[in-house]
């Protein structure tokens, strides 16, 4: 597709005559925003989990690693915010090993402007050390809107976004399913047990995204080509010790062999007299 | 002696069941590690919740009451509780892994410069170290870790401890937090209740889920009827992603890796094949019942009881039988 140069749009507007041209100038109010998305490389959700020889970690052999599914939603939300606010930049940040360059490139291909890898050389991290390290990095930036996923589907912690918010002294709205960004504030909705909360929040802020917020765009070929030329900065992670140490990683106990019953009466009888749950 | 702190939670004035579970978990740790179990609750109109908490088995109850904190605010509640914790010598801080727990506990942990193990299913105290076990990779593995810092913090998966509602009468004290409305940055403006007063999916004792085998969204009436047969407040309706994506059911009902993780006493999978991402959301349920017309459906591998049959025949009969029993 051939891109229409931006100035042609202005010719088009001027051609509409003076009375018409006044209204669109409102859109000229450009708010420059530094939008950040924190992302993580994780094992794909259909991975067969095998435990490594150390008994504490995932055996990566045969595992496909991908961008955390909730982070795809966060990247999409950031790109939508940029589209709304105009001249903003979207920076994706991850703390991880050099392998995570692949997932950062995926974000760049979706449309992010730049990427930062805080390289920890694959050191063991927990929610405490991860958030402290990323917060230290972000303190030196002008980030005013920080998107995260609701949870990383490896450790399933759901900890990083509120931790980051506390460390940066920002408010936080977690697990959002809808978002309205305004000048200096936002309104978001989130599902809670049996109800929905409508939350009002000032900017700068940290937001974590839930499924249902948007449909993440795919990286098209043009995006993938463009991503190769976009800046990917690599910095070394400071050594912050985790607050927790892993004792073991184990597979869940096998469920006992199930029982096929023929009739509803047999089922109800089993639930009542064997399982004793009715 | 350091104390075990439980952060409790009220919804529309009444104490949440998961907070009772957290007090029980706190008592379990106190029995090993010593210390008192002190429950903290934050909000405005707390009289009913305080009373319920006083009978939960906690040694002490502290109510942080303020008009400014009538509605939840992550930054506001974190500031108020952090201020109170400073004088309580906490060895351990526990909370339910609820929507509020997931929002608040990590903030508190960051503020206290400590770790947090979230969504735990077991707590440990060995060789004077606190630890916890939690499902990772959506329940495909369990990770056990110990704490290197203090206080120990954990959020607890619902339905893993038995809450008590008549276990004593704790001393209740009121405190007024030094947080004013002007300090708050994120505030809940409005809580829109779900269409019915249905039991929240993650707290329900019974979950009845339907999948693509139901064929049409209207047929979910069969699922709703079975859930209703257990009586009010017992069962919740769940769904597979296939039917959520098809627009038959709202996303909040989705069970699985990218939906809700549930661990009820009894889980019904009706017309659900049992894809690995669905199992991720329900395989830690205590008893699983599968109804599927395909005897080779993977759901039967995790089911305790299965009926190979047509949901349109089995469900009405089952609903009638459950109604007659409970
Ligand atoms: C990244 C990712 C995340 C995902 N997250 C989730 C998730 O969170 N939750 C989730 O559920 N899925 C998730 N999925 C999708 C998952 O892989 C499956 O596609 C989905 O669970 C299938 O839903 P289903 O069992 O309803 O449908 P199907 O797989 O189509 O199964 C329908 C079943 O109904 C049975 N059936 C048909 N007619 C009848 C009848 N009359 N009576 C009895 N049985 C009948 C069939 O035998 C079949 O077993 C995810 C997938 C991906 C890739
Ligand atoms: N190592 C990391 N680097 C950057 N962002 C992260 C990292 N770990 C977690 N996050 C972000 O925090 C969200 C929640 O992760 P978690 O708290 O680990 O479940 C993820 O969806 C990411 O947006």
Query: In angstroms, what is the C-alpha Rg of chain B?
Result: 21
pLDDT, tens digit, for every residue of B270-320?
A: 999 999 999 999 998 999 999 999 999 999 999 999 999 999 999 999 999
Q: Which domain holds residue B208?
A: 201-325
Model confidence at A19: pLDDT above 70: no
Instruction: Answer yes or no: is B82 within a domain.
Output: yes
CATH of the domain at B9: 3.40.50.620
Alpha-helical (H) ranges within chain A are: 6-15, 18-21, 69-85, 101-110, 127-139, 160-168, 221-229, 264-269
Model confidence at A22: pLDDT above 80: no
Instruction: Answer yes or no: is B70 within a domain.
Output: yes
pLDDT-based confidence at residue B267 (cuts at 50, 70, 90): very high
DSSP string covering A10-70: HHHHHHT-HHHHTGGGGGG-----EEEEE--EEE-TTPPP-B-TTSSSB--TTPPEEE-HH
Residues B205, B178, single domain; the answer is no
pLDDT-based confidence at residue A13 (cuts at 50, 70, 90): very low
Q: Which of B148, B183, B218 is the last residue of a domain?
A: B183
**Contact between chains at A201 and B186 (C-beta distance less than 8 A):** yes
Model confidence at A112: pLDDT above 80: yes
pLDDT, tens digit, for every residue of B213-224?
A: 999 999 999 999
Model confidence at B192: pLDDT above 80: yes
The helix (run of H) or strand (run of E) holding residue A189 is: strand A185-192
Residues B83, B207, single domain; the answer is no
Q: Which of B21, B324, B319, B64 lies closest to B167, judged by CA? A: B21
CA gap A109, A232 in Å, rounded: 12
Model confidence at A6: pLDDT above 70: no
Q: Which of A126, A154, A87, A106 lies closest to A117, judged by CA? A: A106
- Taking all residues of chain A, what is their mean pLDDT, rounded to a whole number? 89
Instruction: Answer yes or no: is B190 within a domain.
Output: no
pLDDT, tens digit, for every residue of B72-102?
A: 999 999 999 999 999 999 999 999 999 999 9
Q: Which two tokens stand for residue A141?
A: 């930036």
Q: Which two tokens stand for residue B206?
A: 């019974």
Residues B18, B74, single domain; the answer is yes
Residues B127, B271, single domain; the answer is no
Q: How far is B29 from chain A (nearest CA, A)?
A: 18
CA gap A271, B30 in Å, rounded: 35
CA gap B267, A105 in Å, rounded: 41
Residues B141, B229, single domain; the answer is no
pLDDT, tens digit, for every residue of B20-72?
A: 999 999 999 999 999 999 999 999 999 999 999 999 999 999 999 999 999 99
Instruction: Answer yes or no: is B193 within a domain.
Output: no
Mean pLDDT of B251-268: 92
Query: What is the structure's pLDDT at B13?
Result: 87
Q: Which residues line ligand 1 (CB under 6 A)?
A: A 45, 69; B 211-213, 240-243, 254-259, 271-273, 275, 277-278, 281, 292-294, 297, 310-312
**Contact between chains at A267 and B318 (C-beta distance less than 8 A):** yes
Q: Which of B183, B211, B229 is the last residue of a domain?
A: B183
B131 in contact with A at a CB cutoff of 8 Å? yes
CA gap A85, A73 in Å, rounded: 18
Residues B208, B170, single domain; the answer is no
CA angle A55, A60, A64 (to 5 degrees): 145
CATH of domain A34-236: 3.40.50.620
Mean pLDDT of B174-182: 90
Contact in structure between B6 and B60 (CB atoms under 8 Å): no
What's the DSSP call for residue B198? P
Per DSSP bridges, beta strands B122-126 and B129-136 are: antiparallel
Residues B45, B154, single domain; the answer is yes
Q: Which of B122, B157, B183 is the last residue of a domain?
A: B183
Q: Which two tokens stand for residue A197?
A: 């909360």
Mean pLDDT of B120-144: 95
Residues B80, B126, single domain; the answer is yes
CATH of the domain at B231: 3.40.50.1220
Residues B25, B102, single domain; the answer is yes
Model confidence at B6: pLDDT above 70: yes
Domain with CATH 3.40.50.620 in chain A: 34-236
CA angle B161, B165, B166 (to 5 degrees): 125
pLDDT, tens digit, for every residue of B270-282?
A: 999 999 999 999 9
CA B54 to the chain's CA centroid: 21
Query: What is the structure's pLDDT at A91?
Result: 98
Residues B42, B135, single domain; the answer is yes
**Contact between chains at B283 and A247 (C-beta distance less than 8 A):** no
Task: For residue B182, give the chain A residue with the closest CA.
Answer: A202
Mean pLDDT of B149-162: 95
Model confidence at A53: pLDDT above 80: yes
Q: Name which residue leads in pLDDT, B13 or A208.
A: A208
Model confidence at A29: pLDDT above 80: no
Instruction: Answer yes or no: is B192 within a domain.
Output: no
Residue A81: how many other CB atoms lie within 10 Å: 20
Percent of chain B with pLDDT over 90: 86
Examine the predicted complex and report whether its ipTM is higher than 0.85: yes
Model confidence at A256: pLDDT above 80: no
CA gap A60, B45 in Å, rounded: 51
Residues B95, B42, single domain; the answer is yes
Q: Which two tokens stand for residue B37?
A: 């179990």
Instruction: Answer yes or no: is B191 within a domain.
Output: no
Separation of CA A208 and ligand 2 centre (Å):
10
Q: Which two tokens stand for residue A1?
A: 């597709």
The total of structural domains in chain B comes to 2
Mean pLDDT of B14-25: 96
Query: What is the structure's pLDDT at B197?
Result: 57
Instruction: Answer yes or no: is B44 within a domain.
Output: yes
Instruction: Answer yes or no: is B27 within a domain.
Output: yes
Least confident of A142-151, A163-172, B191-200: B191-200
Task: For residue B318, give the chain A residue with the closest CA.
Answer: A264
């Amino acid at each position: 597709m051939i891109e229409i140069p931006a100035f042609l749009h202005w010719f088009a507007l001027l051609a509409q005559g003076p009375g018409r041209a006044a209204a669109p100038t409102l859109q000229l109010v450009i708010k420059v925003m530094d939008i950040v998305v924190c992302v993580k490389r994780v094992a794909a959700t259909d991975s067969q989990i095998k435990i490594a020889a150390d008994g504490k970690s995932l055996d990566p052999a045969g595992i496909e690693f991908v961008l955390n599914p909730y982070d795809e939603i966060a990247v999409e939300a950031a790109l939508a915010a940029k589209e709304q606010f105009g001249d903003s930049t979207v920076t994706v940040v991850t703390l991880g090993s050099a392998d995570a360059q692949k997932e950062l490139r995926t974000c760049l291909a979706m449309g992010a402007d730049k990427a930062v890898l805080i390289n920890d050389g694959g050191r063991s991290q927990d929610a405490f050390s991860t958030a402290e390290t990323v917060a230290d990095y972000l303190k030196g930036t002008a980030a005013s809107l920080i998107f995260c996923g609701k949870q990383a589907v490896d450790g399933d912690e759901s900890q990083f976004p509120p931790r980051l918010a506390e460390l940066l002294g920002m408010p936080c709205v977690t697990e959002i399913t809808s978002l309205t960004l305004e000048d200096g504030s936002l309104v978001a909705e989130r599902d809670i047990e049996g109800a929905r909360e409508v939350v009002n929040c000032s900017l700068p802020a940290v937001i974590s995204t839930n499924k249902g917020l948007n449909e993440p765009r795919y990286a098209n070929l043009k995006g993938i080509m463009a991503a190769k030329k976009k800046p990917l900065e690599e910095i070394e992670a400071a050594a912050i010790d985790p607050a927790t140490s892993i004792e073991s990683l184990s597979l869940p106990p096998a469920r006992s062999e199930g029982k096929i019953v023929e009739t509803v009466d047999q089922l109800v009888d089993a639930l009542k007299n064997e399982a004793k749950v009715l | 002696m350091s104390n075990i702190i439980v952060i409790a939670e009220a919804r529309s004035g009444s104490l949440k069941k998961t907070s009772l579970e957290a007090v029980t978990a706190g008592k379990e740790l106190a029995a090993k590690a010593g210390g008192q179990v002190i429950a903290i609750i934050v909000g405005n109109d707390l009289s009913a919740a305080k009373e319920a908490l006083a009978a939960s088995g906690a040694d002490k109850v502290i109510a942080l009451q303020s008009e400014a904190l009538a509605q939840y605010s992550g930054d506001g509640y974190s500031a108020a509780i952090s201020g109170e914790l400073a004088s309580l010598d906490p060895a351990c801080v526990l909370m339910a892994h609820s929507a509020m727990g997931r929002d608040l506990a990590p903030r508190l942990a960051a503020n206290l410069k400590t770790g947090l193990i979230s969504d735990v299913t077991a707590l440990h105290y060995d060789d004077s170290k606190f630890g916890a076990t939690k499902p990772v990779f959506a329940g495909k593995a369990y990770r056990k870790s110990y704490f290197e810092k203090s206080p120990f913090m954990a959020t607890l998966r619902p339905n893993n401890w038995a809450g008590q509602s008549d276990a004593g009468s704790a001393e209740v004290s009121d405190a007024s937090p030094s947080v004013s409305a002007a300090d708050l940055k994120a505030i809940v403006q409005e809580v829109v209740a779900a269409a019915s007063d249905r039991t929240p999916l993650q707290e329900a004792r019974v979950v009845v889920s339907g999948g693509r085998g139901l064929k049409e969204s209207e047929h979910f009436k069969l699922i709703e009827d079975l859930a209703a047969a257990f009586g009010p407040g017992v069962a919740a309706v769940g769904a597979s992603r296939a039917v959520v994506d098809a627009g038959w059911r709202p996303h909040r009902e989705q069970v699985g890796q990218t939906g809700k993780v549930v661990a009820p006493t009894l889980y019904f999978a009706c017309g659900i094949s049992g894809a690995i991402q669905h199992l991720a959301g329900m395989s830690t349920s205590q008893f699983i019942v599968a109804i599927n017309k395909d005897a080779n459906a993977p759901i039967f591998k995790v089911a305790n009881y299965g009926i190979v049959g047509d949901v349109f025949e089995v469900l009405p009969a089952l609903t009638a039988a459950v109604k007659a029993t409970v």
